[in-house]
Amino acid sequence: MKNPSSQTNVAIIGGGLAGLSLACLLSRDNIPVTLVEKEDYPRHKVCGEFISRESMDFLIRTGIFEKENNYPLIDRFELVFPNGKVHTCDLEPGGIGISRFTLDHKLYQLALNSGVNIINKDKANTITRQENGEFQIELKSGKQLISKVAVIAAGRRSTSLYKDSKPKADRLSWFGVKYHIDLPMDIDLIRIMMFEGGYAGVSAVEDGRYCFCYLAKSKYLKKFKGNIDRFEEGLLRKNPEIDKLLNQRTIIDGPFTTSGFHFGYKQIEKDDLLFCGDASGFIPPLTGNGMSLAFRNAVNLHPLLVKYFNGEINWEKLKADYRKYGDGYLEKRISSGEFLQNLALDPGIFIQTILSGSMTLFPFMLKQLSKKATGKPF
């Protein structure tokens, strides 16, 4: 016998930063929300674990943080080129360090306390639009959800939930690796260190730990037959500053890995499905703060859904206004981040020499680059 259906106003598929934030905001406005998450909490995720201060008003306003100085405050930035040349500047507006293990769990508890119905350790297999306009969502467990609105917040790999008519991107895929480490380093500093084919970042998180995370194009890992230890020895250590870090670090947790992703803007709405967080677009961490974009995305979608359920706008108006945010602000910010990342990672020694030399002669260039990676408070 088939499991009975449960009804909700909004079904959110994916319990990351965007999905959990949106669920909290809607539930506090008395809009019934069911969130489906394939994992459980707390859990580790591959992430740089730095939140730009542009998000702090939102995080404090919603009760995720009581005040920003409960976690490491990061206001200095170092950019290290593959040859070990270091360029330093103040980081404006700066940010804080917090692990996804802690942050996602705090959001999860906040969502539960806000009245969100959360289904853990389950996933959406199919989403079908019915003739009456509602969505029928079949879960792996056999459960069925009926929802007036469906939001895809399932991260970068959410294409199995809808028919994607776009051709596959003709770009190299990337992989990511994260550790939590002990390291003799100032807690107010974030370092971005480039190497052939990618870059690494290190900054403080809670409990005296540091997050060391790196991203690289997958073709470089293939040269080492997928072996992370050999990859780090053979490629990362060519940068003398990364070599020094690897010699000094003590691994606490990890490695945690992810792979097969691309950077770029995807879509904000398709076939009446709404997209939020990494499912709508993935910005390069070198030149943008994906955690803040996830929160901002939820903040932009939330009032539109409230107006829709209050009868202030119709469905077409909601989609049109949401597309203005996605095809305007979000796409522009992600495209800018892609351009700057490609410029910084240009494999030609000539381009990198010019960039490094320019930052030596004109230090303000590095500060301007760091400002490009953040947005206004929301």
What does 261-312 look like in DSSP terms, one character per residue? E--EE--SEETTEEE-GGGTEE--TTT--HHHHHHHHHHHHHHHHHHHHTTS
Nearest to 87 by CA among 359, 361, 368: 359
- Taking every pair of Cα atoms in the chain, the longest distance, rounded to a whole number of angstroms, is 73
Strand 33-37 versus strand 117-120 pairing type: parallel
Strand 124-129 versus strand 135-139 pairing type: antiparallel
Domain ranges of the chain: 5-46+101-166+264-338, 50-98+169-262+346-372
Q: Output the pLDDT for position 93.
A: 85
Tokens of 284: 């390069």
Residue with tokens 């040269």: 223
Three-class DSSP category at 208: helix
Q: Output the pLDDT for position 4.
A: 64
**Spatial separation of the C-alpha atoms in residues 17 and 296, rounded to whole Å:** 10
**Spatial separation of the C-alpha atoms in residues 167 and 170, rounded to whole Å:** 8
Q: 352: how many CB neighbours lie within 10 A of its CB?
A: 19
Mean pLDDT of each 10-residue bin along the chain, 378 residues long: 77 97 98 97 95 93 81 94 91 92 96 97 94 95 96 81 56 88 97 93 97 95 95 97 98 95 92 95 89 97 98 98 96 89 67 61 62 78
Q: Output the pLDDT for position 256.
A: 97
Q: Output the pLDDT for position 170.
A: 45
- Integer angstrom CA distances of residue 148 from 29, 113, 224, 275, 313: 16, 23, 49, 15, 15
pLDDT in tens, 55-106: 999 999 999 888 766 799 999 999 999 999 999 989 988 999 999 999 999 9
Give the H/E segment covering residue 139.
strand 135-139
Give the homologous superfamily in CATH for domain 5-46+101-166+264-338: FAD/NAD(P)-binding domain (3.50.50.60)
Are 270 and 251 spatial neighbours (Cβ–Cβ below 8 Å)?
A: no
Three-class DSSP category at 69: helix
**Spatial separation of the C-alpha atoms in residues 339 and 337, rounded to whole Å:** 5
Give the H/E segment covering residue 190.
strand 189-195
**Spatial separation of the C-alpha atoms in residues 193 and 239, rounded to whole Å:** 8
- Terminal Cα distance for the chain, rounded: 48
Domain 50-98+169-262+346-372 has CATH 3.50.50.60: yes
Q: 4: how many CB neighbours lie within 10 A of its CB?
A: 7
Across-strand partners of 145? 6, 137
Nearest to 283 by CA among 231, 240, 320, 336: 336
Tokens of 314: 């119709």
Across-strand partners of 176? 215, 258
Q: Where are the alpha helices (DSSP H) in 205-269?
A: 218-222, 228-234, 240-248
Q: Output the pLDDT for position 175.
A: 96
